[in-house]
Amino acid sequence: MTRSQTTLRRLREMKAAGEQIVMVTAYDHPTARAADAAGVDIVLVGDSAAQVVLGYPSTVSVSVDEMLVLTGAVRRGVEVALVVADVPFGSTEVSDEQAIATALRFVREAGADAVKLEGAGPARLSRIRAIVGAGIPVVGHVGLTPQTATALGGMRAQGRTEQTAARLVDDAFAVQDAGAFALVVEAVPAEVMAVVLPEIDIPVIGIGAGAADGQVLVLHDLLGITQGRVATFVKRFAAVGEDIDAGLTAYAEEVRSGVFPGPEHVYPAGQEAVAAARAAVARRARP
Ligand code: KIV
Protein backbone atom coordinates (compact mmCIF):
# COMPACT_ATOMS: atom_id res chain seq x y z
CA MET A 1 0.00 0.00 0.00
CA THR A 2 1.36 3.45 -0.90
CA ARG A 3 1.64 5.73 2.08
CA SER A 4 -0.02 9.08 1.78
CA GLN A 5 2.02 12.22 2.23
CA THR A 6 1.52 13.70 5.68
CA THR A 7 -0.40 16.91 5.22
CA LEU A 8 -2.30 18.99 7.76
CA ARG A 9 -5.50 17.63 6.26
CA ARG A 10 -4.25 14.04 6.60
CA LEU A 11 -3.48 14.68 10.29
CA ARG A 12 -7.01 16.01 10.85
CA GLU A 13 -8.41 12.92 9.08
CA MET A 14 -6.25 10.66 11.23
CA LYS A 15 -7.59 12.30 14.38
CA ALA A 16 -11.17 11.99 13.14
CA ALA A 17 -10.64 8.31 12.28
CA GLY A 18 -8.92 7.56 15.60
CA GLU A 19 -5.69 6.61 13.80
CA GLN A 20 -2.64 7.21 15.99
CA ILE A 21 -0.18 9.82 14.73
CA VAL A 22 3.47 8.78 15.05
CA MET A 23 5.98 11.56 15.61
CA VAL A 24 9.67 11.25 16.40
CA THR A 25 12.62 13.60 16.59
CA ALA A 26 15.54 13.45 14.18
CA TYR A 27 18.54 15.72 13.79
CA ASP A 28 20.43 14.32 10.81
CA HIS A 29 20.01 12.84 7.36
CA PRO A 30 20.40 9.08 8.03
CA THR A 31 18.03 8.97 10.99
CA ALA A 32 15.51 11.18 9.18
CA ARG A 33 15.59 8.74 6.26
CA ALA A 34 15.15 5.81 8.63
CA ALA A 35 12.19 7.48 10.37
CA ASP A 36 10.54 8.27 7.04
CA ALA A 37 11.13 4.72 5.76
CA ALA A 38 9.66 3.34 8.99
CA GLY A 39 6.41 5.15 8.25
CA VAL A 40 6.62 7.89 10.86
CA ASP A 41 4.03 10.61 10.16
CA ILE A 42 5.86 13.66 11.58
CA VAL A 43 9.60 14.16 11.98
CA LEU A 44 10.38 16.85 14.53
CA VAL A 45 13.73 18.57 14.48
CA GLY A 46 13.46 19.21 18.19
CA ASP A 47 15.54 21.74 20.05
CA SER A 48 16.35 18.73 22.24
CA ALA A 49 19.16 18.60 19.65
CA ALA A 50 20.87 20.97 22.06
CA GLN A 51 21.54 18.18 24.56
CA VAL A 52 21.07 15.11 22.38
CA VAL A 53 23.51 15.87 19.57
CA LEU A 54 25.28 19.16 20.40
CA GLY A 55 26.25 18.52 24.02
CA TYR A 56 24.73 21.68 25.53
CA PRO A 57 23.34 21.49 29.08
CA SER A 58 19.83 22.58 28.06
CA THR A 59 17.71 23.55 25.07
CA VAL A 60 18.17 27.28 25.63
CA SER A 61 21.71 27.23 24.21
CA VAL A 62 20.97 26.03 20.69
CA SER A 63 20.98 28.75 18.02
CA VAL A 64 18.83 29.32 14.95
CA ASP A 65 21.84 28.74 12.69
CA GLU A 66 22.56 25.38 14.33
CA MET A 67 18.91 24.34 14.10
CA LEU A 68 18.82 25.39 10.43
CA VAL A 69 21.72 23.08 9.58
CA LEU A 70 20.06 20.15 11.36
CA THR A 71 16.66 20.90 9.80
CA GLY A 72 18.16 21.03 6.30
CA ALA A 73 19.79 17.62 6.82
CA VAL A 74 16.51 16.14 8.04
CA ARG A 75 14.55 17.71 5.17
CA ARG A 76 16.87 16.08 2.62
CA GLY A 77 16.16 12.69 4.20
CA VAL A 78 12.37 12.89 4.35
CA GLU A 79 9.97 12.31 1.46
CA VAL A 80 6.63 11.44 3.03
CA ALA A 81 6.52 12.64 6.63
CA LEU A 82 5.82 16.22 7.67
CA VAL A 83 8.99 18.00 8.79
CA VAL A 84 8.47 20.27 11.80
CA ALA A 85 11.29 22.44 13.17
CA ASP A 86 11.46 23.70 16.74
CA VAL A 87 12.17 27.42 16.85
CA PRO A 88 14.83 27.90 19.50
CA PHE A 89 14.70 30.00 22.63
CA GLY A 90 15.46 33.66 21.95
CA SER A 91 14.46 33.57 18.30
CA THR A 92 10.82 34.64 18.67
CA GLU A 93 10.56 36.35 22.04
CA VAL A 94 11.31 39.92 21.01
CA SER A 95 8.39 40.62 18.66
CA ASP A 96 5.91 39.11 16.24
CA GLU A 97 8.13 40.40 13.42
CA GLN A 98 11.13 38.54 14.84
CA ALA A 99 9.01 35.39 15.14
CA ILE A 100 7.84 35.61 11.52
CA ALA A 101 11.39 36.25 10.29
CA THR A 102 12.69 33.22 12.22
CA ALA A 103 9.90 30.94 11.05
CA LEU A 104 10.44 32.06 7.45
CA ARG A 105 14.11 31.06 7.67
CA PHE A 106 13.14 27.55 8.73
CA VAL A 107 10.80 27.21 5.78
CA ARG A 108 12.86 28.97 3.09
CA GLU A 109 16.42 28.05 4.06
CA ALA A 110 15.91 24.62 5.62
CA GLY A 111 12.71 23.38 3.94
CA ALA A 112 10.62 22.83 7.07
CA ASP A 113 6.90 22.25 6.49
CA ALA A 114 5.95 23.79 9.83
CA VAL A 115 7.46 25.15 13.03
CA LYS A 116 6.84 24.35 16.68
CA LEU A 117 6.57 27.00 19.40
CA GLU A 118 6.54 26.35 23.12
CA GLY A 119 4.20 28.06 25.56
CA ALA A 120 0.83 29.75 25.73
CA GLY A 121 1.35 33.09 27.45
CA PRO A 122 -0.12 36.19 25.78
CA ALA A 123 3.11 36.93 23.88
CA ARG A 124 3.42 33.31 22.67
CA LEU A 125 -0.17 33.34 21.44
CA SER A 126 0.53 36.56 19.56
CA ARG A 127 3.59 34.89 17.95
CA ILE A 128 1.55 31.85 16.92
CA ARG A 129 -1.10 34.09 15.35
CA ALA A 130 1.58 36.11 13.56
CA ILE A 131 3.40 33.08 12.13
CA VAL A 132 0.16 31.40 11.08
CA GLY A 133 -0.89 34.73 9.57
CA ALA A 134 2.30 34.69 7.51
CA GLY A 135 1.20 31.36 6.06
CA ILE A 136 3.45 29.05 8.10
CA PRO A 137 1.75 26.20 9.95
CA VAL A 138 2.48 26.05 13.69
CA VAL A 139 2.51 23.19 16.20
CA GLY A 140 1.94 24.38 19.77
CA HIS A 141 3.60 22.86 22.85
CA VAL A 142 2.14 23.07 26.37
CA GLY A 143 2.55 21.29 29.72
CA LEU A 144 6.27 21.01 30.43
CA THR A 145 7.96 23.50 28.10
CA PRO A 146 11.72 22.92 28.49
CA GLN A 147 12.73 26.35 27.11
CA THR A 148 11.03 28.00 30.09
CA ALA A 149 11.46 25.15 32.59
CA THR A 150 13.11 27.45 35.14
CA ALA A 151 9.95 29.54 35.33
CA LEU A 152 7.92 26.32 35.74
CA GLY A 153 10.02 25.23 38.72
CA GLY A 154 12.32 22.87 36.82
CA MET A 155 12.00 19.94 34.42
CA ARG A 156 8.98 18.48 36.19
CA ALA A 157 5.54 17.20 35.28
CA GLN A 158 2.83 19.86 34.95
CA GLY A 159 -0.92 19.72 35.61
CA ARG A 160 -0.60 17.87 38.91
CA THR A 161 -2.12 20.61 41.07
CA GLU A 162 -5.52 22.32 40.83
CA GLN A 163 -3.91 25.46 39.51
CA THR A 164 -1.63 23.87 36.90
CA ALA A 165 -4.29 21.38 35.71
CA ALA A 166 -6.69 24.26 35.06
CA ARG A 167 -3.89 26.21 33.36
CA LEU A 168 -3.09 23.28 31.10
CA VAL A 169 -6.70 23.20 29.88
CA ASP A 170 -6.68 26.97 29.26
CA ASP A 171 -3.33 26.76 27.48
CA ALA A 172 -4.47 23.96 25.18
CA PHE A 173 -7.58 25.89 24.13
CA ALA A 174 -5.62 29.13 23.75
CA VAL A 175 -3.02 27.56 21.45
CA GLN A 176 -5.77 25.97 19.36
CA ASP A 177 -7.63 29.29 19.15
CA ALA A 178 -4.43 31.08 18.13
CA GLY A 179 -4.35 28.91 15.01
CA ALA A 180 -1.96 26.03 15.73
CA PHE A 181 -2.77 22.96 13.61
CA ALA A 182 -1.53 20.49 16.23
CA LEU A 183 -0.46 20.51 19.85
CA VAL A 184 2.28 18.71 21.75
CA VAL A 185 1.44 18.12 25.41
CA GLU A 186 4.45 17.17 27.51
CA ALA A 187 4.65 15.59 30.97
CA VAL A 188 1.14 15.85 32.36
CA PRO A 189 -0.89 13.18 34.18
CA ALA A 190 -2.78 10.84 31.85
CA GLU A 191 -6.01 11.55 33.76
CA VAL A 192 -5.73 15.27 33.10
CA MET A 193 -4.97 14.62 29.44
CA ALA A 194 -8.03 12.33 29.27
CA VAL A 195 -10.21 15.25 30.39
CA VAL A 196 -8.86 17.77 27.89
CA LEU A 197 -8.30 15.51 24.85
CA PRO A 198 -11.94 15.05 23.77
CA GLU A 199 -12.49 18.83 23.90
CA ILE A 200 -9.63 19.80 21.57
CA ASP A 201 -10.31 19.75 17.83
CA ILE A 202 -6.72 19.79 16.57
CA PRO A 203 -4.52 16.67 16.80
CA VAL A 204 -2.90 16.36 20.22
CA ILE A 205 0.46 14.57 20.38
CA GLY A 206 1.50 13.40 23.82
CA ILE A 207 4.93 12.88 25.38
CA GLY A 208 4.65 11.65 28.92
CA ALA A 209 0.96 12.52 28.87
CA GLY A 210 -0.74 9.14 28.41
CA ALA A 211 -3.18 8.40 25.60
CA ALA A 212 -3.55 11.10 22.94
CA ASP A 213 -4.10 11.40 19.19
CA GLY A 214 -0.47 10.43 18.75
CA GLN A 215 2.86 10.12 20.52
CA VAL A 216 6.29 11.69 20.18
CA LEU A 217 9.60 10.58 21.68
CA VAL A 218 13.18 11.70 21.29
CA LEU A 219 14.84 9.31 18.83
CA HIS A 220 17.98 8.79 20.92
CA ASP A 221 15.87 7.92 23.97
CA LEU A 222 13.68 5.37 22.21
CA LEU A 223 16.61 3.74 20.42
CA GLY A 224 18.61 3.46 23.65
CA ILE A 225 21.42 5.77 22.49
CA THR A 226 20.94 8.27 25.34
CA GLN A 227 23.37 7.60 28.17
CA GLY A 228 22.30 7.71 31.82
CA ARG A 229 18.91 8.54 33.30
CA VAL A 230 15.95 9.08 31.01
CA ALA A 231 12.51 10.52 31.81
CA THR A 232 9.85 8.22 33.31
CA PHE A 233 7.85 8.38 30.08
CA VAL A 234 10.62 7.03 27.86
CA LYS A 235 10.38 3.47 26.60
CA ARG A 236 13.47 1.95 25.01
CA PHE A 237 12.60 0.07 21.83
CA ALA A 238 16.20 -0.84 20.96
CA ALA A 239 19.67 -0.94 22.51
CA VAL A 240 21.56 0.95 19.81
CA GLY A 241 23.85 2.60 22.39
CA GLU A 242 25.14 -0.83 23.42
CA ASP A 243 25.71 -1.77 19.77
CA ILE A 244 27.64 1.47 19.22
CA ASP A 245 29.83 0.83 22.27
CA ALA A 246 30.47 -2.78 21.25
CA GLY A 247 31.21 -1.83 17.63
CA LEU A 248 33.68 0.92 18.54
CA THR A 249 35.43 -1.25 21.13
CA ALA A 250 35.83 -4.08 18.59
CA TYR A 251 37.11 -1.64 15.94
CA ALA A 252 39.72 -0.19 18.31
CA GLU A 253 40.86 -3.69 19.32
CA GLU A 254 41.21 -4.90 15.74
CA VAL A 255 43.14 -1.80 14.63
CA ARG A 256 45.52 -2.15 17.57
CA SER A 257 46.02 -5.90 17.05
CA GLY A 258 46.42 -5.60 13.25
CA VAL A 259 43.38 -7.80 12.51
CA PHE A 260 41.80 -4.88 10.65
CA PRO A 261 42.19 -4.20 7.76
CA GLY A 262 42.13 -7.81 6.50
CA PRO A 263 42.89 -8.99 2.94
CA GLU A 264 39.24 -8.46 1.99
CA HIS A 265 39.48 -4.72 2.78
CA VAL A 266 42.36 -3.82 0.45
CA TYR A 267 42.55 -2.96 -3.27
CA PRO A 268 44.51 -5.35 -5.55
CA ALA A 269 47.30 -3.91 -7.73
CA GLY A 270 48.92 -5.35 -10.88
CA GLN A 271 52.58 -6.46 -10.78
CA GLU A 272 53.51 -3.45 -12.96
CA ALA A 273 52.15 -0.99 -10.39
CA VAL A 274 54.05 -2.69 -7.58
CA ALA A 275 57.24 -2.76 -9.68
CA ALA A 276 56.83 0.95 -10.51
CA ALA A 277 56.37 1.78 -6.82
CA ARG A 278 59.56 -0.19 -5.99
CA ALA A 279 61.51 1.60 -8.72
CA ALA A 280 60.27 5.00 -7.43
CA VAL A 281 61.36 4.11 -3.91
CA ALA A 282 64.77 2.93 -5.21
CA ARG A 283 65.25 6.24 -7.09
CA ARG A 284 64.63 8.12 -3.86
CA ALA A 285 66.86 5.86 -1.77
CA ARG A 286 69.93 7.63 -0.33
CA PRO A 287 73.30 6.45 -1.79
O1 KIV B 1 12.68 19.26 21.41
C2 KIV B 1 12.04 18.19 21.44
O3 KIV B 1 12.56 17.10 21.22
C4 KIV B 1 10.62 18.28 21.76
C5 KIV B 1 9.88 17.00 21.94
C6 KIV B 1 10.30 16.34 23.17
C7 KIV B 1 8.42 17.19 21.86
O8 KIV B 1 10.09 19.35 21.88
Residues 6+ apart with CB under 8 A from 156: 144, 187
The residue among 11 and 285 whose pLDDT is bigger is 11
pLDDT of residue 148: 82
Q: What percent of the chain has pLDDT over 70?
A: 99
Which helix (H) or strand (E) covers residue 140, if one does?
Answer: strand 138-143
User: Does pLDDT of 89 surpass 70?
Assistant: yes
Is the distance from the beta carbon of residue 216 to the nearest atom of ligand 1 less than 6 Å?
yes
Note the pLDDT tens digit of each residue in 192-217. Answer: 999 999 999 999 999 999 999 999 99
Helix or strand run (H / E) with residue 250: helix 240-257
The residues, ordered by sequence, that sit 6+ positions from 12 with a Cβ below 8 Å of its Cβ are 181, 202, 203
CA angle, residues 189, 191, 195, in degrees to nearest 5: 120
pLDDT digits (tens, 9 = 90+) for 52-83: 999 999 999 999 999 999 999 999 999 999 99
pLDDT band of residue 227 (cuts 50, 70, 90) is: confident
pLDDT at 223 > cutoff 70? yes
* pLDDT of the residue at 57: 92
Q: Tell me, using a 6 A CB cutoff, whether residue 184 lines ligand 1.
A: yes
**Is the model's pLDDT at 154 over the cut of 80?**
no
pLDDT of residue 147: 85
Instruction: List the chain domain ranges.
Output: 8-238, 243-285
Active-site residue, 186 included: yes
Q: Which of helix, strand or coil describes residue 180?
A: coil
Mean pLDDT for the stretch of residues 229-245: 94
Statement: residue 285 has pLDDT above 80 = no
Q: SS3 string of 208-241?
A: CCCCCCEEEECHHHHCCCCCCCCCCCCCCCCCHH
Asked whether residue 117 carries a pLDDT value surpassing 80, the answer given is yes
Looking from the CA of residue 184, the nearest atom of ligand 1 is 7
Question: What is the pLDDT at residue 208?
Answer: 96
Mean pLDDT within 87-115:
97
pLDDT of residue 1: 61
Ligand 1 mean position, distance from CA 249 (Å): 31
- Whether residue 287 is predicted with pLDDT greater than 70 in this model: the reply is no
* pLDDT at residue 84 tops 90: yes
- Between the CA of 105 and the centroid of ligand 1 the distance, in Å, is 20
What is the CA(46)–ligand 1 centre distance, in A? 5
**Cβ proximity of 70 and 112 under 8 Å:** no
CA 103 – CA 92 distance, rounded (Å): 9
Tell me what pLDDT residue 270 has.
Answer: 93
> Could you tell me the pLDDT band of residue 150, with boundaries at 50, 70 and 90?
confident
C-beta 206 within 6 A of ligand 1: no
- For a ligand 1 pocket test, name from 59, 60, 86 the mutation site with the most ligand atoms within 8 angstroms of its C-beta: 86
- What pLDDT, on a 0 to 100 scale, did the predictor assign at position 171? 97
Domain covering 8-238 assigned CATH 3.20.20.60 in the classification: yes
* Sign of the torsion formed by the C-alpha atoms of 70, 74, 77 and 79: negative
Question: Mean pLDDT over all residues of the chain?
Answer: 95
In ligand 1, the atom with minimum distance to the C-alpha of 59 is 1
